[in-house]
Amino acid sequence: MKQFKYSARDVKGKVVTGEVEARDAESVTDILHDRGLIVVSIKEGMGIDFEKLAEINIGGVPMKEKVVFMRQMSTMVGAGLPLTRALEIMVQQAGNPFFKRVLKEVLASVQSGRSLSDSFRAQDEIYDEVTLNLIEAGEESGNLETILERLATELEEKNSLTSKLKSAMIYPIIILVVIVVVVVLMMMVLIPSMATIYSDFGAELPWVTRVLMGMSDFFLNFWWAVLVVLAILIIGGKYYLDSPKGKRNWDKLVLKIPVIGGIITKMQLSQFTRILALLLGSGLSIIKALELTASSLSNSMFRDTITEAKAEVEKGGALALPIARSEYFPLLVSSMIAVGEETGEIDSVLTKVSEYYKEEVDVATTNMASVLEPVFLIIMGLAIGFIALGVYMPMFQLSSAIG
């Protein structure tokens, strides 16, 4: 089969371009005629298609592209533009080659009569189920403009929380890398040279120095074994964490880590309240909203709690009760949900709780570096101090003996 590029006109005279695989140009003509198109030109694709190479998806569609798409689509739909015309404009403006191709396929799907949500569902891993269900709710209620605007805000909030956590972790990670590099260099370079000098004196060395020399000899002679063990630990750890049991145990453990566990808890609470409020405010049933909210949470402990709450709500129970029983949800959340259920304004109450935890995450991530910095500096100081002690203690002994 060969790749052909074609240009044709539809029944309204509009130019349609695209690509199709076929045996020859005559087969392409038959395919286009079956689609109700009038052929203008057909060219066989030759050599390397650099446009296709540019469309290779590495790292996914940038979040900025997704947010801009939502906001501009909301503006154009609100201004009264037909959905197909709005998509045509977005195809022309898309900066990411892969996203441009996706939008072209979505446009073709919408032109064929499918809904916007179903068209995006056919594209792998562009938008999650929460986003797609919200778009579907907006299409069914005729409120697509508002939904798209809310989704743009939701994507920005989600990206902001993730970026703040990553930014807070950069400095501690840099310090940790520096510690490892300094220790390795000392073990591989400094200690061996000092060991050669001390061996010439034939004196008994302090235990600290003997320990360092033993560690240095091990690293120099069995560095390959260290790398093999590290590789096994990394691969085995990834395999374990990818299993349901491993993921659950890790999610439970990480919540107990000082500082980091508190930030992750607040991030999960902020995401839970924000997404549930968005889904309920868009007209979805509480059962469907809880199902989608649970699937959007990254931590198994919180996801399992919401799944159990959904099962209880299906039986006619209140949402606040299973939330209150969970050790991972603070009393504030269950109390506010109870108030929302009593007043019938649960979505607005959840929005306020989400804003509170968003501010809590902002404060926690800002303070995270200042809390972890002294801890890592102490660790680095102890490691370097231990090595320095092992290096200089023999010098002091030798100078005392000579004196």
Tell whether pTM > 0.75: no
| Judgement on whether residues 227 and 360 belong to the same structural domain of the protein | yes
Residue 85 forms part of a structural domain: yes
Residue 149 forms part of a structural domain: no
CB 101 within 8 A of CB 65: no
3-state SS, one letter per residue, for 174-188: HHHHHHHHHHHHHHH
Q: How far apart are CA 147 and CA 311, in angstroms?
A: 27
Q: Kindly give the confidence (pLDDT) of every residue in the chain, 403 residues in length, as a single tens digit, with 9 standing for 90 and above.
A: 567 788 888 777 777 787 777 777 787 787 778 777 888 888 876 544 444 444 444 446 777 888 888 888 888 888 888 888 888 888 888 877 888 888 888 888 888 888 888 888 887 667 888 888 888 888 877 788 888 888 888 888 777 777 777 777 787 788 888 888 888 888 788 778 777 777 766 667 778 888 888 888 888 888 888 889 999 999 998 998 888 888 889 999 998 988 888 888 998 998 899 888 888 888 888 898 898 888 888 899 999 999 999 999 998 888 889 999 988 999 999 999 999 888 888 888 998 998 898 888 888 887 877 777 788 788 888 888 888 887 777 777 666 655 5
CB 123 within 8 A of CB 66: no
Looking at residue 174, which CATH number applies to its domain? 1.20.81.30
| Judgement on whether residues 117 and 41 belong to the same structural domain of the protein | no
| Judgement on whether residues 38 and 166 belong to the same structural domain of the protein | no
| Judgement on whether residues 343 and 263 belong to the same structural domain of the protein | yes
Domain count, the chain: 3
Residue 56 forms part of a structural domain: no
Residue 116 makes CB contacts below 8 A (sequence gap 6+) with 83, 106, 110, 135, 139, 144
| Judgement on whether residues 230 and 352 belong to the same structural domain of the protein | yes
10 Å CB burial of residue 112 (0-12, 13-18, 19+) is: exposed
Q: Which residue has the tokens 């140009």?
A: 25
For 20, the 3-state DSSP assignment is: strand
| Judgement on whether residues 223 and 248 belong to the same structural domain of the protein | yes
Q: How far apart are CA 182 and CA 213, in angstroms?
A: 16
| Judgement on whether residues 365 and 226 belong to the same structural domain of the protein | yes
Show the domain range for 273: 154-403
| Judgement on whether residues 206 and 68 belong to the same structural domain of the protein | no
